[in-house]
Structure 1
């Protein structure tokens, strides 16, 4: 026969009338509970035993550490739920209240989304270090493909402008990087902790591949407007002092640097990716490197870069990064090696932090962020490349993309 529900009445009692349960075996973190109470107030009643059957009035059965935290804060009253049970039942309640908390587990992805939606972690019981460990647990390092592998462009893309894809902890918006509303929707109230982006170079580059790929928007006539709008949007959604990395063509450095400075970015240095092979071209000296502008979003407290709290690299970093070119670049004519991006993220972004890429391309920044243990926020104008990013992410991580309408879409499924 089922046991009837205990009669509960709710009231507010003076803290000095309440007593902790004698012999309570639980040892809770009173400081963390006090921080929660201070940040959010009391949001559930303490359960107390009226005591007519035990001889101990207003003894706490569930919420002993909340009572201790309230005393620590100097509170005068607490909301309580009052029941009246005998000694055996009181002991069972205390044991069950402690044990059932131990038996529970977490959906780590749901916990990440819960905490990630907060302005800060105050009063949650979680520290920044806890959050970083959580992200590391979600982002499995056991990947399924070579980081530089990228799928072919689809003839008939699934993605359309306006889509926002959830790729595990990462996110991709299909749209224009100069459209601030699209960027706001992508960030959903978050701020980027770092920016790593590879904009169109303004040289109307045609890939030396069987498809003769041309980067959408990669024409010099529109470059100034494109960079100006994109960098203005970037500054608006990045946290003050966020590090910024912008790959560019050496011949267009002045235009890129001017656009960054006009957006308020503090341009600090020009870094160099040294390749393993030359790139044949019309110049007298064939290029074997590509430059990457490095600076900071305006604002921020303390020292920016090395020597500051937000520098995560060592003291031996130089301006040159030697990494082999990806073996195939049919999916993006200027595709960067994932290891190059990851090396820079390791210097400027803590695990669990957010990196923004305004020109997603084939998704190398997302893969680098995943390898690093951080989360990526990407924008990509061309729906075909958005599909490449979704499929590349799925093949690399095993996580099926979810569109902002809630539908999970398997990008690896045959669509013949």
Structure 2
């Protein structure tokens, strides 16, 4: 194809470095929200500097590069690189200005290729906010694809490998066999780090044995504590230390998602208030099918949402602006629905949550690589959700058998091996004491 345009196809363009106050605004300001875009561009310019000149006419009137100019101005640059376009008429320059902006916005990303590139760069520990993509956009591109496979893992072990006091490394995640009411457990599992999110499913102070059974096909023993033996005051005294200790290790604006049955939600709210947390919402998990009940069969659980501040530090939902359209009614199939991830895990634990439910909560209010704490981690769903969302989980679990289950589930998902923090031995190669 031969060039038949009116102007030189490859004009001799020269880059000059001129004082920033030399440049004049464009004929009309055609762009909205320039300040917001400058904020997004700042990390990139700080990382790379100016790598392309702004375009101006012979009178130094801006043609293209307004956001870059404003960003460099905000960063205190005294001179910037520009390129004068002198071979076009005034009318052509006005058309060029629109064309340059329009054509850039019309090009679409290949989400699979872009996601793969982002995952590779993230593995090199680059700060992906430099790309200008919002957290919700990064998450949607980098989230592990596909539905969770049905889990095929062993039953809860009768003779657990894990023992009280064991700390396990599951890749970047940490899992401690200990008591969520013991301050030392938090020091062990977190070290000097703090967390940005707590997702946890504590005991509901309701009897498990002969009451939670998955349509009668699955039987569970009672948990070690919190199975109906406590008064309301005692149950609040059980919840408060775990919430307070978690809050002590949380950043300002960290969000707590705490699951609870309708019979105990009032005690949870009281305990959270006593722990200095702000109650910012209560979500309803709609399980789709009703469970056992008296007057009404229950098909929901509550997920109370608290925060260390009146407002969360991070909001990735923003009324669905970047694709996360969320309400406080969460619809995920429950443990009595075949095919759900909660149903897959029912034979492992009496009150499993769908991995997808926990994933979405994590994605709502954290950045990639954020640290998530679960002081009642049970069968390890929070670890699986953190693994799939590129976050780092820290879990505490009192019962050794559930520590083993959590490790096995993570190993099945990742094909990696958990390692004992003290001995360095892989899970399953520990010497039984």
TM-score by length of 2: 0.60
Secondary structure of residue in 2 paired with 1:259 = helix
Which whole-Å CA distance do the structure 2 matches of 1:165 and 1:142 have between them?
27
Which whole-Å CA distance do the structure 2 matches of 1:334 and 1:202 have between them?
12
The count of residues paired between Structure 1 and Structure 2 equals: 290
Matched, 1:225 2:233: no
Matched, 1:343 2:346: no
Write out per-residue CA displacement over residues 324-367 of structure 1, whole angstroms, 9 at most, x where no aligned residue. 12224121111010111111111111111111111011111111
Which whole-Å CA distance do the structure 1 matches of 2:182 and 2:143 have between them?
32
Q: 1:324 to 1:140 in 2, by over 3 A?
A: closer
Q: 1:110 to 1:162 in 2, by over 3 A?
A: farther
Q: 1:151 to 1:367 in 2, by over 3 A?
A: farther
Which whole-Å CA distance do the structure 1 matches of 2:47 and 2:238 have between them?
48
Match of 2:170 in 1: 167
Which whole-Å CA distance do the structure 2 matches of 1:142 and 1:412 have between them?
32
Secondary structure of residue in 2 paired with 1:291 = strand
Q: CA deviation at 1:369?
A: 1.1
Matched, 1:244 2:260: no
Write out per-residue CA displacement over residues 56-104 of structure 1, whole angstroms, 9 at most, x where no aligned residue. xxxxxxxxxxxxxxxxxxxxxxxxxxxxxxxxxxxxxxxxxxxxxxxxx
Q: CA deviation at 1:254?
A: 1.0
Further displaced range: 311-320 or 232-241: 311-320
Q: CA deviation at 1:406?
A: 3.8
Pick the aligned partner of 1:401 from 418, 423, 426: 418
Matched, 1:319 2:336: no
TM-score by length of 1: 0.63
Secondary structure of residue in 2 paired with 1:251 = coil
Q: What are the ranges of 5 or more consecutive residues in structure 1 without an aligned counterpart? A: 1-28, 34-106, 113-125
Match of 1:94 in 2: none
Which whole-Å CA distance do the structure 1 matches of 2:300 and 2:150 have between them?
21
Q: 1:280 to 1:187 in 2, by over 3 A?
A: same
Which whole-Å CA distance do the structure 1 matches of 2:150 and 2:395 have between them?
17
Match of 2:199 in 1: 196
Match of 2:377 in 1: 360
Secondary structure of residue in 1 paired with 2:263 = helix
Q: 1:294 to 1:379 in 2, by over 3 A?
A: same
Q: 1:374 to 1:312 in 2, by over 3 A?
A: same
Q: What are the ranges of 5 or more consecutive residues in structure 2 without an aligned counterpart? A: 1-43, 49-119, 320-324, 335-341
Write out per-residue CA displacement over residues 155-187 of structure 1, whole angstroms, 9 at most, x where no aligned residue. 111111111111011110110011111111111
Pick the aligned partner of 1:216 from 202, 224, 236: 224
Secondary structure of residue in 2 paired with 1:160 = coil
